[in-house]
Structure formats: structure tokens, C-alpha cells
């Protein structure tokens, strides 16, 4: 029986991405940007094809994602984006805010070769972790970081889908901070994004269970949340007001915000239970150059 030949992947014709380039860290900013954008686009198209039940197109798109280097190459490109020359590690902003709010009291980082750190009073869950050496990892006496990612890039990062991580039960399984830096925009579907934000509230410790309430009562439990700036500055469906409103409906209060050239960074405190209000896909602006980034709460 003749086997039906799969049509060529959308990426066929694109030269394979050189491993040497990624390992040597010599990809240009333009090349890393292209890899990241293409991965996001194909990933979104793939989710949409699956939603429509179009298995053939979904299979072509899977090939195309692999042709673009897959998740590994996307992560390597994202890691290059974290390098100083490309804008740096976003967790530096979180560290500044924790210093400003009196959680991290000094600039003294624990040296790599120092003895076992003391038991840290606070716990942070980093969703979508690319490195165990980012700025927030340098204060193990104060903050114990649990790192997870769909694809672990090494020791210290557990390979796990946050959406499948078992919900905490025992008090010591909850977190004081969740870090969600450049992850929500990776999620291809607006309603799945909403589900991710809702799920985060289930991992945060209730305010009355905080370890050192005197210090932390003000800002913990908290979400450190980073998005590419165009998601709130140039979307037909989301701006900062709408984002703050969505977060408010989930029980979050905005505590800190900072825009950099390419990113918007937020620190939200989970201060209430939320009101279960829905948020639909509604156009708030329109122009040719705008994008369609959206968060839907069902």
C-alpha cells in the first residue's frame, strides 16, 4: 500500500540552526529574535489547529517547529536574550524590589563555594526557568528557589509543566512568590493564559500563613510577572489598565511596575480571594501595527 507522503513542513527550505552558533553564543540579536518570533507564531498556529481538530496541519506545524530548532533552540535563543548585552536577566528587577521592600536586607550574595545555606524564610517558584544562576538565585539564605520548565536545561531545574504540577497541600508546599517571566506570552491560547493566572493563585501561601509576617505582610504572597512590552503597549485586546483589572479580579493588587525598552515588569500581591469575574476578548483599540495579544478569563 502506498504510504501518503506528508507535505513539506512550513520551515523546509530554511537552513538548519547551527548548534555551534548556540553553544558558542554567537547568534546575532536579529537571529535570536527571529527564532523566538517564529517559535511563538508556529506554536500559536499549532494550538489553533489542534483546537479546530485539524490533525494534518498540526503535524506539519510540529515539523515546522522542529525545523526552527524546537523548544531547545528557542530556550537557547531566550537565554541569549538574558545576556547583559541584550537587556539582561529580568530577576534583577525582582531583587531590587525585594530589597526596596525590606525582604532582602543586604547586597551580600552567597558565594558559589560557600557552605550549605541556612534555611531560607521564603520560597519562590520560578515557572519557565532557564538558569539556576540568575540574580534571584543568589540569596539562598533568604529565598529558596524551586525552578521548573517544560524542558529542563540542567541540574536545579525540574522538567515539569506548571499546568500539571500537583497543587500544594501541606503548608510547606506553598510559595511566597511565583515568578512568571516571559512565560504567559509563550502560552498560545488566551483562555489557557487565563487558566495559568488562576492556577498561580493556588500555589501562593495565604497572607496569614506567612513565615515572617512582620516583614513580608506588605508584599507577600506575590507574583513577579514579566511580559514583552508590546503585549500591553500595542495590543488590540490588552493594555495596562485592562491587565490590572484582570489581575484585580483574580485577587491581585499592583505593587510595583517598571517598563524597560522591551519588557514590562510587575509585582502583584495576592491580597484577596478574587471575584470570579470573567474577562472576554474585547477590542480596545485597532490599528494596522497592533498585535492580538489577549488574556481571557472564563
Ligand X SMILES: C[S@@+](CC[C@H](N)C(=O)[O-])C[C@H]1O[C@@H](n2cnc3c(N)ncnc32)[C@H](O)[C@@H]1O
In the complex with ligand X, which residue's Cβ is closer, 126 or 210?
126
Shortest Å distance, C-beta 178 to ligand X: 12
In the complex with ligand X, which residue's Cβ is closer, 188 or 210?
188
In the complex with ligand X, which residue's Cβ is closer, 21 or 78?
78
In the complex with ligand X, which residue's Cβ is closer, 183 or 238?
183
Residues that bind ligand X (CB under 6 A): 71, 75, 78, 82, 90, 127-128, 130, 148-151, 161-163, 181-183, 186, 226
Shortest Å distance, C-beta 81 to ligand X: 6
Shortest Å distance, C-beta 238 to ligand X: 18
In the complex with ligand X, which residue's Cβ is closer, 75 or 279?
75
Shortest Å distance, C-beta 49 to ligand X: 19
In the complex with ligand X, which residue's Cβ is closer, 97 or 186?
186
Shortest Å distance, C-beta 2 to ligand X: 38
Nearest to 100 by CA among 258, 259, 272: 258
CB nearest ligand X: which residue?
Answer: 128
Shortest Å distance, C-beta 19 to ligand X: 18
Amino acid at each position: 500500500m502506498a504510504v501518503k507522503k506528508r507535505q513539506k513542513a512550513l520551515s523546509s527550505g530554511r537552513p538548519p540552526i547551527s548548534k555551534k552558533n548556540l553553544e558558542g553564543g554567537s547568534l546575532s540579536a536579529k537571529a535570536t529574535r527571529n527564532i523566538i518570533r517564529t517559535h511563538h507564531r508556529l506554536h500559536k498556529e499549532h494550538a489553533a489547529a489542534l483546537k479546530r481538530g485539524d490533525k494534518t496541519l498540526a503535524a506539519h506545524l510540529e515539523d515546522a517547529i522542529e525545523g526552527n530548532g524546537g523548544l531547545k533552540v528557542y530556550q537557547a535563543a531566550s537565554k541569549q536574550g538574558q545576556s547583559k548585552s541584550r537587556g539582561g536577566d529580568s530577576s534583577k528587577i525582582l531583587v531590587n524590589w525585594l530589597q526596596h521592600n525590606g525582604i532582602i536586607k543586604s547586597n551580600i550574595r552567597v558565594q558559589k563555594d560557600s557552605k550549605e545555606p541556612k534555611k531560607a524564610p521564603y520560597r519562590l517558584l520560578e515557572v519557565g526557568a532557564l538558569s539556576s544562576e540568575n540574580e534571584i538565585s543568589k540569596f539562598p539564605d533568604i529565598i529558596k528557589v524551586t525552578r521548573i520548565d517544560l524542558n529542563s536545561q540542567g541540574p536545579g531545574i525540574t522538567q515539569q509543566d506548571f499546568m500539571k504540577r500537583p497543587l500544594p497541600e501541606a503548608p510547606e508546599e506553598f510559595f511566597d512568590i511565583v515568578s512568571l517571566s516571559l512565560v504567559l506570552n509563550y502560552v498560545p491560547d488566551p483562555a489557557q493564559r487565563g487558566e495559568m493566572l488562576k492556577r498561580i493563585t493556588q500555589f501562593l501561601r495565604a497572607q496569614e500563613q506567612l513565615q515572617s509576617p512582620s516583614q513580608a505582610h506588605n508584599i507577600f504572597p506575590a507574583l513577579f510577572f514579566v511580559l514583552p512590552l508590546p503585549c500591553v503597549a500595542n495590543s488590540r485586546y490588552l493594555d495596562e489598565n485592562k491587565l490590572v483589572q484582570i489581575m484585580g479580579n483574580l485577587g491581585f493588587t499592583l505593587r510595583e511596575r517598571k517598563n524597560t525598552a522591551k519588557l514590562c515588569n510587575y509585582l502583584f500581591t495576592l491580597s484577596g480571594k478574587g471575584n470570579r469575574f470573567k474577562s472576554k476578548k474585547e477590542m480596545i483599540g485597532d490599528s494596522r501595527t497592533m498585535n492580538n495579544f489577549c488574556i481571557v478569563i472564563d
